[in-house]
Structure 1
Amino acid sequence: MRHENLASYIEKNQQALAKGPTAVILAEDPQELESTLRHLLKIRFHNIVLLADPQIETPPALQDDIQRVDYNSYQPQALQSAVNQLMEPASGAWLYYGYNAEYLFYPFCETRNIHDLLAFHTQERRDAFLTYVIDLYARDLNLDANAVSLKDAMLDKSGYYALARPDPDNHNYPRERQLDFFGGLRWRFEEHIPVQRRKIDRIALFRAKSGLHLRENYTLSDEEYNTYACPWHNNITTAMASFRTAKALKSNPGSRYDIHDFTWHNSTKFEWHSQQLMDLGLMEPGQWF
Structure 2
Amino acid sequence: MRYSSIARLLEQAGPALATGPLCLMMAEDEVELDASLRHQFKIGFRDVVLLIPEGISLGDEMEHNVHVVTHDVFAEAALSNAVNQFIDALAGVWIHYCYNTEFLFFPFCETRSVREMLTFHTEERRDAMLTYVVDLYAGDLGRNSNAVALDDAWLDRSGYYALAREDAAKGWQTKDRQLDFFGGLRWRFEEHIPWPRRKIDRISLFRAKKGLRLHPDFTLSDEEMNTYACAWHNNLTAAVCSFRTAKALRTNPGSLFSIPTFRWHNSVAFNWHSQQLMDLGLMEPGQWF
Q: TM-score range by the shorter chain?
A: over 0.9
Can you list the C-alpha shifts for 1:254-277, whole angstroms capped at 9, x where unaligned?
111111100000000000000000
CA contact (8 A) 1:58 1:68 kept: no
* AA matched with 1:118: L
* Identical-residue share of aligned pairs (%): 58
Deviation at 1:61? Answer: 1.9
Q: Work out the CA distance in 2 between the residues paired with 1:31 and 1:229.
A: 34
* AA matched with 2:191: E
Q: Work out the CA distance in 2 between the residues paired with 1:184 and 1:44.
A: 28
Q: Work out the CA distance in 2 between the residues paired with 1:53 and 1:272.
A: 29
RMSD over aligned Cα atoms: 0.7
Tell me the equivalent position of 2:266: 266
Structure 1 segment 153-232 matched on structure 2, within 5 A: 153-232=153-232
Deviation at 1:103? Answer: 0.1
Deviation at 1:16? Answer: 2.4
SS in 2 for 1:63: helix
Structure 1 segment 50-129 matched on structure 2, within 5 A: 50-129=50-129
SS in 1 for 2:51: strand
Tell me the equivalent position of 1:288: 288
SS in 1 for 2:169: coil
Deviation at 1:18? Answer: 2.2
Q: Work out the CA distance in 1 between the residues paired with 2:267 and 2:119.
A: 35
Deviation at 1:77? Answer: 0.9
SS in 2 for 1:19: coil
Q: Work out the CA distance in 2 between the residues paired with 1:31 and 1:266.
A: 26
CA contact (8 A) 1:165 1:179 kept: yes
1:244 aligns with 2:230: no
* AA matched with 1:163: L
Deviation at 1:58? Answer: 2.2
Deviation at 1:13? Answer: 1.4
Deviation at 1:4? Answer: 1.1
CA contact (8 A) 1:33 1:59 kept: no
Q: Work out the CA distance in 1 between the residues paired with 2:57 and 2:77.
A: 22
Tell me the equivalent position of 1:12: 12
SS in 1 for 2:65: coil
Deviation at 1:189? Answer: 0.1
Q: Work out the CA distance in 2 between the residues paired with 1:142 and 1:14.
A: 45
* AA matched with 1:231: A
CA contact (8 A) 1:235 1:286 kept: yes
Q: Work out the CA distance in 2 between the residues paired with 1:65 and 1:187.
A: 37
The answer to which of 11-20 and 172-181 deviates more is: 11-20
Can you list the C-alpha shifts for 1:47-70, whole angstroms capped at 9, x where unaligned?
100000121112222112110011
Q: Work out the CA distance in 2 between the residues paired with 1:115 and 1:201.
A: 22
Q: Work out the CA distance in 1 between the residues paired with 2:16 and 2:179.
A: 34
Can you list the C-alpha shifts for 1:211-257, whole angstroms capped at 9, x where unaligned?
00000100000000100000000000000000000000000111111
Q: Work out the CA distance in 2 between the residues paired with 1:16 and 1:175.
A: 38
Q: Work out the CA distance in 1 between the residues paired with 2:60 and 2:264.
A: 38
Q: Which runs of 4+ in 1 moved over 3 A?
A: none
CA contact (8 A) 1:17 1:89 kept: no
* AA matched with 1:281: G
The answer to which of 68-77 and 183-192 deviates more is: 68-77
* AA matched with 2:280: L
Deviation at 1:187? Answer: 0.1
Deviation at 1:172? Answer: 0.5
TM-score (norm 2): 0.99
Residues 184, 172 of structure 1: alpha-carbon distance in 2 compared, 3 angstrom cutoff: same
* AA matched with 1:191: E
SS in 1 for 2:151: coil
The answer to which of 274-283 and 62-71 deviates more is: 62-71
SS in 2 for 1:151: helix
* AA matched with 2:130: L
